[in-house]
Amino acid sequence: MKRISLLLLWGFFIQVTFAQFPLGKSAGQEITEKALKGSIFIVKQAYQLKDKKSGDLFGKNGKEEFGAAYSYAVLTVLGGYAPTNIFTPWENDKAFDEYKEKYEPVNANTWLRSLEHKAVYNKISISEPESNEGFSLFNISDTLQNQRLGIDGQTGEKDGWMVWLTSSESLQESESTAVTVLPINKKITINEKDKLYDIDPPTKTGHILGGLYVCPTYKGGGHVEYLLVGFAVQKDNKWQMYVPFIGMKAESVKCAPATTESLEENNGLTPINKNKSESKKKRGKKTKKQ
């Protein structure tokens, strides 16, 4: 009878545990994932074409953007961080090839969305990005201040989480696809001289968007705060962790609001400056008739 009771109790414990945490994930992974989701976003960087002779700007197919690239961004107390190649979205866009002799690419609007499937992209204003070791820092609006991660600029051994961002399909193919957060417990020792550390990527995860390394710090009352240590960067099919914060102090930053205008839809290239000037002329003609 005692043995049956113990088996029933153990079965109840397993059922409750799996009800709280998805199959295959530990409690630590689940807590880390939930804590970081508000600080990690998908970033969309759009670009336009600029006529080399006239300076006129063009979008495509009635839109104010000619093309766009997608990656991820991490919000910190220093500002936003994203892979540097997101800010040159034309480099991997084959559609730009036929226009590059007469036009040059220029960045347009920047957008953020959450990691969930079919989440809405919100237009944001950022400063000119500052790049280093494949990652760029940019100032961002204070509207997301409460979701920013603190940074860890200390050396020594870290017992934290390498958090990988993966998806079943490429964001370039489907911009609304869900992105999975996969935390893997990892110890690493940070010194004052090295900025790059070798890391192993997860296996059988589909598309790897990138990753970040965080360390939990335990506050009073059971509160846990996660500090950002570094980012995963890929070079020549090799993954490394880039640590930019050693000796750095955290300071909040501000950014000016964005100013954009919507455009009417047309086929092919959309002349942005021309549309705006024509609309002004029409408004002027109406005023004279009155």
CATH number, position 48: 2.40.10
State yes or no: pLDDT of 289 exceeds 90.
no
Give this prediction's pTM: 0.77
The string of pLDDT tens digits covering residues 161-213 is: 999 999 999 999 899 999 999 999 999 999 999 999 999 999 877 899 999 99
The string of pLDDT tens digits covering residues 214-230 is: 999 887 777 889 999 99
β-strand partners of 140 = 126
Mean local confidence (pLDDT), 110-117: 88
Q: Binning pLDDT at 50, 70 and 90, where does residue 249 land?
A: low
Which one of 39-53, 138-152, 265-279 scores highest in mean pLDDT?
A: 39-53
Which one is predicted more confidently, 254 or 160? 160
Residue 81 lies in a domain: yes
Residue 249 lies in a domain: no
State yes or no: pLDDT of 288 exceeds 60.
no
What is the full DSSP assignment across 98-117? Answer: GGTTTEEEEEEEEEEE-SST
Q: Binning pLDDT at 50, 70 and 90, where does residue 45 land?
A: very high
Phi, psi of 93 (to 5 degrees): -105, 105
Residue 258 lies in a domain: no
pLDDT (0 to 100) of residue 116: 81
pLDDT (0 to 100) of residue 17: 36
pLDDT (0 to 100) of residue 145: 55
Q: Binning pLDDT at 50, 70 and 90, where does residue 100 land?
A: very high
Q: Binning pLDDT at 50, 70 and 90, where does residue 250 land?
A: low
Please give the residue range of the domain that contains residue 167: 29-242
Residue 278 lies in a domain: no
Residue 271 lies in a domain: no
Residue 277 lies in a domain: no
Residue 285 lies in a domain: no
Residue 21 lies in a domain: no
What is the full DSSP assignment across the chain? Answer: -HHHHHHHHHHHHHHHHHHHS-TT--HHHHHHHHHHTTTEEEEEEEEEEEETTT--EEEETTBS-SEEEEEEEEEETTEEEEEGGGG-GGGG-GGGGGGTTTEEEEEEEEEEE-SSTTPPPEEE-B---EEETTEEEE-B-GGGGGGPBEE----EEEEEEEEEEEESS-TTT-TT---EEEEEEEEEEE-SS--EEE-PPPSS-SEEEEEEEEEEEE-GGG-EEEEEEEEEEEETTEEEEE---TTPPP-----PPP--------SSEEEHHHHHHHHHHHHHHHHHH-
Give percent of the chain above pLDDT 90. Answer: 54
H and E: helices and strands count for the chain: 3, 16
Instruction: Report the domain count for the chain.
Output: 1
